[in-house]
């Protein structure tokens, strides 16, 4: 029955153009991911969240923590997705402030264990490492499962065969993580040893408690520290 569940692939784009090339690039990956899943008999739906439409709400939430209904809806879609394609234009050699502010507002564990593909666009090939430096470290901090390939598209890349091939590779990597249900597998294995926010991550609390009870029962007692030892006196600056 679980195999018939519709997988949710969500694009979170900080593109500012109309139409946005950043959004189109990320949407292409999401659509290719859905196609790969379809070939594995899994149904997938692509959701598009354009942060430019939420810019005012994100700014207000950043300074007051007052989250509008529209912004909360977007955050909920992300949290309950099966995979995310996170995309940002490159400004001053990094992702945009709008992109960062959205993830600052998101709950600490909003994408915990979630498969994520990282996408960036810019005018110069000099920004090629932005997905693998700036963006990867952000989502590593949020404990997401990031696909191996980061995708950066400069102006000269548009319409090239190489860009299409990289899109296809990223989509295949993302689909493989969704197909193996890596998020639920990871959360189920670790249980409640993660520090949680109020977000429901759909892990069986009884199993988590049982896991922790088992661990506590078999834990080896920590030895008492001897603060009068010569080593501790030396560490404290004594003789």
pLDDT block averages, 10 residues each, the chain of length 239: 79 92 95 96 96 97 95 97 95 87 94 95 65 86 94 76 90 97 87 57 40 41 52 55
Give the pLDDT score at 208: 39
Residue 199 within a domain: no
Residue 222 within a domain: no
Q: Assign 3-class secondary structure to 146-175.
A: ECCCCEEEEHHHCCCHHHHHHHHHHHHHHH
- CB burial class (10 A; 0-12, 13-18, 19+) of residue 218? exposed
Give the pLDDT score at 212: 45
Give the pLDDT score at 190: 79
Residues in the chain: 239
Residue 197 within a domain: no
Tokens representing residue 177 in the block: 């993580």
Residue 231 within a domain: no
Residue 219 within a domain: no
User: In terms of residue numbers, what domain contains 180?
Assistant: 2-190
* pTM of the full structure: 0.78
Give the pLDDT score at 132: 75
Give the pLDDT score at 3: 60
Residue 65 within a domain: yes
**Considering its fold, how many domains does the chain have in total?**
1
**CATH code where residue 134 lies:** 3.40.50.360
Give the pLDDT score at 68: 97
Residue 40 within a domain: yes
Residue 195 within a domain: no
Phi, psi of 71 (to 5 degrees): -70, -40
């Amino acid at each position: 029955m679980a195999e018939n569940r519709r997988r949710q692939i969500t694009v979170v784009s900080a593109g500012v153009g109309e139409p946005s090339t950043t959004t189109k690039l990320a949407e292409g990956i999401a659509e290719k991911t859905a196609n790969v899943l379809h070939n594995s008999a899994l149904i997938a739906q692509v959701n598009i969240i354009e942060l430019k439409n939420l810019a005012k709400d994100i700014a207000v939430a950043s300074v007051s923590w007052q989250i509008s209904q529209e912004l909360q809806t977007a955050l909920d879609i992300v949290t309950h997705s099966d995979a995310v394609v996170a995309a940002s234009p490159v400004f001053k050699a990094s992702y945009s402030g709008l992109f960062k502010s959205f993830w600052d507002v998101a709950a600490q564990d909003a994408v915990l264990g979630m498969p994520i593909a990282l996408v960036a666009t810019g005018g110069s090939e000099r920004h090629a490492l932005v997905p693998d430096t700036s963006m990867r470290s952000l989502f590593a901090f949020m404990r997401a499962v990031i696909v191996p390939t980061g995708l950066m598209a400069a102006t000269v890349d548009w319409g090239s065969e190489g860009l299409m091939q990289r899109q296809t590779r990223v989509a295949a990597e993302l689909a493989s993580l969704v197909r193996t249900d890596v998020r639920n597998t990871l959360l189920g294995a670790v249980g409640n040893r993660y520090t949680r926010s109020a977000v429901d991550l759909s892990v069986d609390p009884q199993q988590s408690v049982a896991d922790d009870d088992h661990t506590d029962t078999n834990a080896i007692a920590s030895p008492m520290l001897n603060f009068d030892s010569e080593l501790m006196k030396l560490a404290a600056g004594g003789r």
